[in-house]
Amino acid sequence: MSFTIAIDGPAGAGKSTIAKLVAKELECIYVDTGAMYRALALYMVRKGVDIHDEKKVEAELAGADVSLMYDKGELKVMLNGENVAGIIRTPEVSEAASVVSAYRQVRKELVRRQQLMAEKTDLVMDGRDIGTCVLPSADLKIYLTADARVRGERRYKELLEKGEECDLEEIIRDVIERDRRDMTREESPLRQADDAVLVDSSYMSIEEVCSAILDLVKDKKKNCIEIRVCKTAGFCFGVKRAVDKVYECIESEEGPIYTYGPIIHNEDVVAELEKKGVKVWDDDSKGEKGTLIIRAHGIGKERMRKLQSIGMNVIDATCPFVKKIHKIVSEKSAEGYNIIIAGKKDHPEVIGITGWCEGPFYVVSEPEDLDNIPFEEGSKCCLVSQTTFNHNKFNKIVAKFKKTMYYGLVFNSICNATQENQEETARVSEWADVMLVIGGKHSSNTQKLNEIASERCEHTYFIQSSDELDPAWIDHADRVGITAGASTPQNIIEEVKTKCQKKVLRNCWKKM
């Protein structure tokens, strides 16, 4: 798990100098965001792109792979595998960097890459919106500032040492004006994050500031809880695909837009879509015909035909992994196999699967349910599973199925993402003192994650959003684990993590 430090503050506060020293002491990466913009600018210059044409610059972004790495203490600025650290300080590249860094899409893309770096490695990053925008979930946030006159005097001294003539009062006025512009700019204004530690360096040496920040890092790691978020938590492929399809239709389709049942088992997402005019359709719905999106759970064959027959523009966003099950049960039941589905019989996905069975079928949720199946001895049976079924329970059902009197085929149709999330949830739950499971109360896969976590962690809490998180739950915890169902958006997971971090900050840090 990476440890990230965000240092923000006004110009002249010594952020870059301090950030580099802290990174060196902690033996982690100092993210020189300016170097990343310069490397991107170098790419545009080499490609002959008109840097004053924002659209052309945006079109070339995907071709520039920019990253940072350290080798024996030396910063390497990598551009498509080449270390360009020694050639990005030329006047031409500097001018190009100044131009392209102002483009919204360029900033958005480099912020995305910086965030990816933060997920994978320990780092220190400085700027004016790092803790508020770039790394809002940083483990430690510092707001490094100094009195405007002190910063002006520092700049005045630097210029004199270079032999340049300057006026101290004019420099101080410039410092104050730059602060005003940075703090009032429309996009990502300079401000102290709510959970940032204020460090005033006005009357501190560089060594003292660095030491103070290192002490905060030490206290953070020693006294504060560790928060571990399952990497597999949140939207799965099928759910993301279905939700994206709804948003695409909002932009492109005319007339009313419906989803067949709630698009996912997440009340926040459904409520947001309702605000955009998307309504939920069921078999009893009546109203103006329009576009109807089939959710990831899928529906039965006859129900699909009925919807198409009433004049709806049906867009099928059924998860491809669910579609595969439809194909299996349709083909095998046509070949004379009785179908057994491991799942929850009233779950929309299972109901949809049964709608593709051409003959007898039976739904089981426990190994013991196999004892009650009315198929005759020697019957041909085909066993499949709901994509979000409990992996361990399915294995037990399979073990018993193989000992029955039936001639059987077994298809493990549990989605890989579901299986991985369940396995990771089990590991994190065994490690954690407190486990938070995030997802809709009606989400089958989230309910299963809650079962898995509860079996391994006594203090497991099932919540839908950060509003339901009681900070008292983590008062005496050293390790907090977070997992989430396939219908939980990433922003809700981040909100829960941030609320946990703020609780930690209140307990462990004192403002300087």
Beta-carbon contacts of residue 255 (< 8 Å; ≥ 6 apart): 288, 289, 290, 291
Cα distance between residue 462 and residue 487, in whole Å: 14
Q: What is the largest CA-CA distance in the chain?
A: 100
25 in helix, strand or coil?
Answer: helix
Contact call for residues 299 and 312 (beta carbons, < 8 A):
no
Cα within 13 Å of Cα(131), Cβ side: 22
Cα distance between residue 344 and residue 235, in whole Å: 21
81 in helix, strand or coil?
Answer: coil
Q: How far is CA 279 from the centre of its chain?
A: 27
Cα distance between residue 16 and residue 143, in whole Å: 13
Cα distance between residue 98 and residue 372, in whole Å: 72
Cα distance between residue 508 and residue 215, in whole Å: 12
Cα distance between residue 99 and residue 10, in whole Å: 22
Q: How far is CA 444 from the centre of its chain?
A: 21
Dihedral over Cα of 502, 506, 507, 509: its sign: positive
Token pair listed for 64: 């520039």
Sheet strands side by side (includes 313-316): 278-281, 257-260, 291-294, 313-316
Q: Check if 368 is active-site.
A: no
Catalogue the E-assigned strands of 263-377.
278-281, 291-294, 313-316, 338-342, 361-364
Pinpoint the alpha helices (H) of 127-280. Answer: 148-161, 168-184, 206-223, 237-252, 267-275
Cα within 13 Å of Cα(488), Cβ side: 33
Catalogue the E-assigned strands of 242-379.
257-260, 278-281, 291-294, 313-316, 338-342, 361-364
Pick the catalytic residue from 187, 226, 349, 366: 349
Which residue(s) pair with 394 in the sheet? Answer: none
Give me the torsion for CA of 260, 262, 265, 268, rounded to 10°. Answer: 150
Q: Indicate which residues carry an active-site annotation.
A: 349
